[in-house]
Amino acid sequence: MTLHTNNEYKMPVGIMQAPVTPMTEDFDVDYEILEKVVDFHTRTPRNTGVLALYNKAEPHALTIEERKRIAEVTNNTVSGRLPVIIHVGHPSTDVAVELAVHAQKVGAFGICCITPYYWSLTQEEILAHFERLLDAVDIAVMAYNNPRRIESGGLSTDLLLELIDRYPNFVGMKDASHAMDSFTEYCRVLQSARPDFAVMTGIEYLAGSVPVGGTGSFSACGAIAPTLTYDLWDAIQASKWDKAFELQHKASYIHQQFMDQYPSSLKIGMELMGRPVGPCRSPLPTGNDETRARVARVLEDCGVLENETHGW
């Protein structure tokens, strides 16, 4: 049987921005700057949503109370202009459920949850984890698949099909496997069960994923080079493949350069673009002068300093 998603749960198609968590020099969350970051992303033309507390926001180095406050500040700042999704992943199902319920309470459009990291779980245990989340909320829910970082490996299509079959608000997955073969199978199998099921890449690997059914991505580059990011999306939608090739390679190169000390290199990049967001919390390093010089070279080489927006 083919299922369809109710409009109230349907994930937008395109690229969603994911704010970093700004820190003061004392490593406290800087909520004032957070509002600026979120507002910047919300005003970014062609952005289709905001994902709070994604990996680049350092959620694993934040207290539960900090995560709740960031969820609230993000939702209030966006203020209905775009859908807000809160990442609620945590090794404890109880905590993930608590964060999910809180996300619904503050008015989020949906939640996204990574497979519990650290534990090596069976597919049955992972299924039970997502069942608890889906039973606890009545907003859109996305699964976040990141087999390279998770002891349990990837989410099986059988598990995802079962969730699709049972929960009308299970509406998408964020796939950070970035693997050509498994991504193709996720699209083929899951969209055959529910044609509007969102299958999004973790970050902007779009030129190879959209043709097989990818519905968009979350953004690594959008804090630095939003125009490049959305030009890539538009080129693919228009089947301008030579342009898409060029932009995909450029976005990918920027991403590669930011992988070193991610997200500290990214935070340095934001500072160079006139949007300072402070250091990273330990154990992640804060970018130093060497990082700054390297990132500056990358931004210059890729035309970002010249072509993208500076300041807030």
Residues that bind another protein (CB under 8 A): 178-181, 183-185, 188, 201, 205, 207-209, 211-213, 239, 241, 244-250, 252-253, 255-256, 300-303, 306-307
Query: 9 and 139 in contact (C-beta within 8 Å)?
Result: yes
> Considering beta carbons, is residue 75 or 191 the nearer one to another protein?
191
Token pair in block for residue 26: 């004392």
> Considering beta carbons, is residue 101 or 179 the nearer one to another protein?
179
Min dist CB 177 to another protein, Å, is: 8
Min dist CB 29 to another protein, Å, is: 29
Min dist CB 259 to another protein, Å, is: 8
Min dist CB 66 to another protein, Å, is: 30
Min dist CB 183 to another protein, Å, is: 7
Q: Cα–Cα distance between 239 and 237 in angstroms, integer?
A: 6
Min dist CB 166 to another protein, Å, is: 25
> Considering beta carbons, is residue 43 or 297 the nearer one to another protein?
297
> Considering beta carbons, is residue 40 or 183 the nearer one to another protein?
183
> Considering beta carbons, is residue 92 or 252 the nearer one to another protein?
252
Q: Cα–Cα distance between 78 and 32 in angstroms, integer?
A: 14
Name every residue whose Cβ is closer than 8 Å to that of residue 86 and which is 6 or more positions away in sequence. Answer: 51, 52, 53, 71, 74, 75, 99, 100, 103, 108, 110, 111, 112
Q: Cα–Cα distance between 80 and 169 in angstroms, integer?
A: 20
Q: Cα–Cα distance between 14 and 8 in angstroms, integer?
A: 17
> Considering beta carbons, is residue 23 or 266 the nearer one to another protein?
266
Query: 97 and 132 in contact (C-beta within 8 Å)?
Result: yes
Query: 173 and 198 in contact (C-beta within 8 Å)?
Result: yes
Burial 99-127 (b: 16+ CB within 10 A, else e): bbebbbebebbbbbbbbbeeeebebeebb
Token pair in block for residue 16: 């969603």
> Considering beta carbons, is residue 9 or 258 the nearer one to another protein?
258
Min dist CB 284 to another protein, Å, is: 20
Query: 124 and 160 in contact (C-beta within 8 Å)?
Result: no
Q: Cα–Cα distance between 10 and 12 in angstroms, integer?
A: 6
Query: 112 and 130 in contact (C-beta within 8 Å)?
Result: no
